[in-house]
Amino acid sequence: MSSANSTSIQVKNLSLSFGKVQALQDISFSIASNRILALIGPNGAGKTSMLNCISGFYHPQKGEILFNGQDISKLSPSKRAKLGISRTFQNIELYTGLTALDNLMAARHVYIKYGPLGGSFFFGRARQEEIKNRRVVEEIIDLLEMENIRYQVVESLAYGLRKRVDLGRALSLEPKLLLLDEPMAGMNVEEKEDMARFILDIQELKKIPIIIVEHDMGVIMDISQQVVVLDFGCKLADGTPAEVKNDEKVIQAYLGKETSSNQETDQS
């Protein structure tokens, strides 16, 4: 595993366009291991497009993405998943007809080595792998406090619990880089507090870098160590939460004067 101050992922001069629409324009940033980086900006700024480029759903026309020193820019999403890049989705993409447990087990497919015959008879190697995979999933269920919903069908769960299953499935891949696309969208205050706690627990226990897209600035300023601000596909700022919060360009484009006024009041 990389040391705590080493670079885990680098985005270098990344540009992405859809026809004449420029979604990302010459974006560069890096994140070290065991840090939470927040991507923020108004709707349409390019945040999800950036996650899609890192995970392989989009292929940029220009630039490089280096993961632990390896150029992954041309790799498929499945190959990136095997390298340890896992994500959640802004619109929850779960198997709604399966249980929460089955959704988490489905993410273990990259670790399954036995073939159809071994799976049919479920002995020897197949049984050993199943036990190992189930052990990993049960640890995640404990971590995310999902014991009471493990056997419930996902479509019957409340929205906040579905978000938790989505996070659990991403963790089942045993990621070396975790991408979270608006994990707290649509949640109430209590659910947001739980999700923020889970994300911090993941960082502490797994020691992996996390890139999070989120609109709740209170949460972002509390849990992240680095913030990158995008606006109309361009990078406005890159720094600590305090540095970004005081950046005049960011205040004008995104945070607004009210945030600045509140900050001055807090400091007085």
Each residue of 16-27: pLDDT tens digit? Answer: 999 989 999 999
Q: Among 147, 173, 199, which residue terminates a domain?
A: 173
In this prediction, residues 81-92 reach a mean pLDDT of 91
For position 114, what pLDDT does the model report?
A: 57
Count of the separate structural domains present in the chain: 2
- Give yes or no: residues 134 and 213 share one domain: no
Provide the mean pLDDT of the chain: 87
In this prediction, residues 57-85 reach a mean pLDDT of 94
User: Is pLDDT at 178 greater than 70 in this prediction?
Assistant: yes
Q: For residue 145, which phi and psi values (nearest 5 degrees)?
A: 55, 55
User: Is pLDDT at 135 greater than 50 in this prediction?
Assistant: yes
Q: Under a CB-based contact definition with an 8 Å cutoff, are residues 32 and 5 in contact?
A: yes
- Give yes or no: residues 201 and 159 share one domain: no
- Give yes or no: residues 264 and 185 share one domain: yes
For position 110, what pLDDT does the model report?
A: 77
- Give yes or no: residues 186 and 268 share one domain: yes
For position 34, what pLDDT does the model report?
A: 84
User: Is pLDDT at 1 greater than 50 in this prediction?
Assistant: no
Q: pLDDT class for 150, splitting at 50, 70, 90?
A: very high
- Give yes or no: residues 223 and 253 share one domain: yes
- Give yes or no: residues 167 and 216 share one domain: no
User: Is pLDDT at 256 greater than 50 in this prediction?
Assistant: yes
Q: Among 144, 173, 202, which residue terminates a domain?
A: 173
User: Is pLDDT at 31 greater than 70 in this prediction?
Assistant: yes
Q: pLDDT class for 105, splitting at 50, 70, 90?
A: very high
For position 50, what pLDDT does the model report?
A: 97
- Give yes or no: residues 115 and 202 share one domain: no
203 is in which domain, residue-wise? 1-84+175-268
For position 111, what pLDDT does the model report?
A: 72
Q: Among 154, 173, 192, which residue terminates a domain?
A: 173
- Residue 7 sits in a domain whose CATH number is 3.40.50.300
Q: For residue 71, which phi and psi values (nearest 5 degrees)?
A: -75, 115
